[in-house]
């Protein structure tokens, strides 16, 4: 008897299963990354039960910064850029640069929410993401320079009492512990002055010329057309000075990069540069986590040679 002719179904999903089932292709080639990832997820779930949190950007439960919002922050900070052109206190009246500044990202959207929430609460997950963004900006600012000092801008005493920490110091210490400061060294060399006058001094009057002379040979230096000095400088002039304790770092004659969280008018960075200069440090530039800019400003230019972060 001739065998019956069985017509094959064109739909492969209706075909009978193969004699040997295909193995599931996992994202992990070895067992231990899968186990570590599972343990981390379990730990996050237990922590969420003990201390419920929400994403600071979108409100998703159980995460201080959910996956999509964390990716958005990485995208916003993947290309550091020169930001002093939108800071009046850092540009001379003729459009020349007084102090070059590299920003990790523009202060907007998820980055702005993450920075604000970190400054209020200092969550570890936010600190980890923002530290990596700051590290990319530091590497872009330092360029080929070696042995420079990273000097954080000190927070006010009232802000420290309210928060219990200094955001910039915390980010830099995270990078220092992880070995991600690159060729730079953390130097906590500044402090807030207990009392200061609002009037200008002789040291302040010639600050522009001295800083321009110090940064001309640095890769970050270069002229850009700016807006002139901002009035905010009068409020912070004389508000910082070098630490005088025996444990204070010696920055005399060493290249220094000042680090702050958010750049607005640039008055705070200008005052920090004045204090570093008076202490004998050689100011070569500044780095900020985020920079504000006018809504109609052109797209910022990337820092030449700065490592771009991944957007995934």
Is residue 59 in some structural domain? no
Question: pLDDT-derived band of residue 201, with 50, 70 and 90 as boundaries?
Answer: very low
pLDDT at residue 19 in the model:
58
Strands 282-291 and 255-263: parallel
Average pLDDT estimate for 257-281: 92
The more confidently predicted of residues 294 and 54 is 54
pLDDT at residue 57 in the model:
81
Percentage of the chain modeled with pLDDT above 90 = 30
Query: d(Cα 58, Cα 56) in Å, to the nearest integer?
Result: 6
How many domains are there within the chain?
A: 1
CB 129 within 8 A of CB 68: no
Percentage of the chain modeled with pLDDT above 70 = 66
Is residue 22 in some structural domain? no
pLDDT in tens, 221-253: 433 333 334 445 555 666 788 888 888 888 999
Q: Which of 40-54, 143-157, 228-242 has the highest mean pLDDT?
A: 143-157
220: Cβ–Cβ under 8 A, 6 or more apart, which residues?
A: 82, 100, 102, 141, 143, 284, 285, 303
Is residue 201 in some structural domain? yes
Query: d(Cα 73, Cα 134) in Å, to the nearest integer?
Result: 12
Is residue 130 in some structural domain? yes
Query: d(Cα 311, Cα 158) in Å, to the nearest integer?
Result: 37
Range of the domain at 174: 80-291
Is residue 159 in some structural domain? yes
CB 236 within 8 A of CB 267: yes
Give the CATH number, domain containing residue 219: 3.40.50
Is residue 256 in some structural domain? yes
Question: pLDDT-derived band of residue 303, with 50, 70 and 90 as boundaries?
Answer: confident
Average pLDDT estimate for 1-16: 51
Lowest-confidence region among 46-50, 218-222, 248-252: 218-222
Strands 101-106 and 282-291: parallel
pLDDT at residue 243 in the model:
85
pLDDT at 285 over 90: yes
Query: d(Cα 288, Cα 35) in Å, to the nearest integer?
Result: 38
Q: Which of 9-23, 55-69, 289-303 has the highest mean pLDDT?
A: 55-69
**Vertex 82, ends 79 and 84: CA angle to 5°?**
145
pLDDT at residue 41 in the model:
65
Mean of pLDDT over the chain: 75
Query: d(Cα 260, Cα 269) in Å, to the nearest integer?
Result: 8
Measuring CA to CA, which residue among 131, 80, 88 is closest to residue 105? Answer: 80
């Amino acid at each position: 008897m001739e065998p019956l002719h069985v017509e094959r179904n064109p739909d492969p999903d209706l075909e009978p299963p193969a004699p040997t089932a295909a193995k599931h292709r996992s994202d992990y080639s070895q067992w231990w990354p899968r186990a570590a990832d599972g343990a981390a997820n379990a730990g996050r779930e237990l922590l969420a039960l003990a201390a419920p949190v929400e994403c600071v950007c979108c409100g998703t439960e159980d995460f201080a910064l959910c996956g999509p919002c964390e990716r958005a922050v990485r995208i916003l900070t993947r290309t550091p850029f020169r930001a002093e052109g939108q800071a009046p206190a850092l540009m001379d009246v003729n459009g020349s640069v007084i102090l070059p500044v590299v920003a990790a990202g523009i202060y907007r959207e998820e980055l702005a929410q993450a920075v604000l929430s970190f400054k209020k609460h200092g969550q570890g997950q936010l600190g980890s993401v923002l530290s990596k963004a700051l590290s990319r900006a530091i590497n872009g600012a330092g360029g080929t320079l070696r042995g420079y000092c990273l000097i954080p801008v000190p927070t006010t005493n009232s802000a420290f009492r309210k928060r219990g920490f200094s955001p910039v110091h915390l980010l830099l210490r995270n990078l220092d512990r992880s070995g991600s400061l690159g060729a730079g060294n953390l130097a906590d060399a500044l402090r807030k002055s207990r009392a200061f006058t609002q009037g200008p001094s002789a040291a302040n009057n010639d600050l522009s010329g001295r800083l321009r002379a110090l940064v001309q040979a640095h890769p970050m230096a270069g002229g850009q057309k700016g807006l002139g000095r901002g009035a905010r400088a009068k409020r912070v002039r004389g508000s910082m000075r070098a630490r005088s304790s025996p444990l204070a770092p010696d920055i005399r004659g060493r290249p220094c990069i000042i680090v702050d969280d958010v750049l607005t008018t640039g008055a705070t960075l200008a005052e920090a540069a004045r204090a570093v200069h008076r202490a004998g440090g050689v100011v070569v530039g500044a780095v900020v986590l985020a920079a504000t800019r006018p809504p109609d400003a052109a797209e910022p230019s990337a820092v030449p040679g700065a490592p771009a972060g991944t957007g995934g």
